[in-house]
């Protein structure tokens, strides 16, 4: 599951901002503004940008800091409007709604991934084959299928489901009458 820059910023600000005072939130807004400005200038910079061990797309980094700056400003405005001395993420209705939405998307992605993995496990046990049957046996197969009101593929599926492999490796099928 891929989160947008805004999703990541909201998550980071909720976690980092928990218990922060108005002064510390103002400092976070100022720091995010500086980082946003710096990262916005980097893609236009003629000099190569070194990031140490982490190499990332400068435009992506700029978008991330722009989103964080916007989220810190939103939290600062919320605190000022609500008269909060300390940021409490659980009282932030918009932030809580976004967090619940992200969690729901995460749960959906995990469920979809689990279902996909289960399908892969089941598919690993299946065998798909394309069978070319000669003219003589093919004619007999079509006749048996027509008498049973089935397609030749359905008769072959029933035939394959009755295969017995003995200890010596011999493969056989007991006689049966194809039926729906």
pLDDT tens string 112-150: 999 999 988 887 777 778 888 899 999 999 999 999 999
Q: Where are the alpha helices (DSSP H) in 83-174?
A: 93-125, 135-148, 152-161
Asked if 26 contacts 52 with a C-beta cutoff of 8 angstroms, the reply is: no
142, 65: one domain: no
Position 53 confidence tier, pLDDT thresholds 50, 70, 90? very low
Does residue 178 form part of some domain?
A: no
Does residue 105 form part of some domain?
A: yes
Phi-psi region of 19 (alpha: psi -120 to 50; beta: other; left: phi over 0): left
108, 140: one domain: no
- Give the other-Cβ count within 10 Å of 7's Cβ: 17
Asked if 22 contacts 107 with a C-beta cutoff of 8 angstroms, the reply is: no
Asked if 178 contacts 158 with a C-beta cutoff of 8 angstroms, the reply is: yes
Three-class SS state of 88 = coil
118, 164: one domain: no
118, 142: one domain: no
27, 77: one domain: yes
Q: Please state, in angstroms and rounded to a whole number, the distance separating the CA atoms of residues 155 and 141.
A: 8
143, 110: one domain: no
Position 49 confidence tier, pLDDT thresholds 50, 70, 90? low
16, 92: one domain: yes
Does residue 161 form part of some domain?
A: yes
Does residue 130 form part of some domain?
A: no
Q: φ and ψ at 168, to 5 degrees? A: -80, 0
Position 92 confidence tier, pLDDT thresholds 50, 70, 90? very high
Residue 55 has pLDDT above 50, yes or no: no
26, 93: one domain: yes
The structural domain count of the chain equals 2
Residue-range definition of the domain harbouring residue 145: 135-173
Out of 28-37, 47-56, 75-84, pick the least confident.
Answer: 47-56
Q: Please state, in angstroms and rounded to a whole number, the distance separating the CA atoms of residues 155 and 139.
A: 13
Does residue 110 form part of some domain?
A: yes
Does residue 142 form part of some domain?
A: yes
pLDDT at 42: 67
């Amino acid at each position: 599951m891929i989160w947008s820059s805004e999703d990541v910023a909201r998550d980071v600000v909720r976690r980092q901002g928990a218990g922060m005072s108005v002064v510390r939130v103002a400092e976070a807004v100022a720091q995010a503004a500086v980082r946003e400005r710096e990262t916005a200038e980097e893609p236009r910079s003629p000099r190569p940008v070194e990031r140490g061990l982490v190499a990332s797309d400068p435009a992506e980094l700029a978008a991330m800091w722009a989103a964080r700056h916007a989220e810190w400003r939103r939290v600062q405005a919320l605190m000022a409007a609500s008269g909060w001395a300390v940021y409490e993420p659980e009282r932030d209705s918009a932030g809580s709604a976004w967090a619940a939405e992200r969690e729901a998307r995460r749960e959906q992605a995990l469920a979809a991934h689990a279902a996909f993995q289960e399908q892969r496990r089941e598919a690993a046990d299946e065998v798909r084959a394309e069978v070319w049957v000669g003219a003589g046996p093919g004619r007999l197969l079509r006749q048996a299928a027509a008498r049973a009101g089935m397609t030749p593929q359905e008769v072959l599926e029933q035939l394959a489901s009755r295969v017995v492999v003995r200890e010596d490796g011999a493969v056989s099928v007991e006689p049966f009458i194809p039926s729906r």
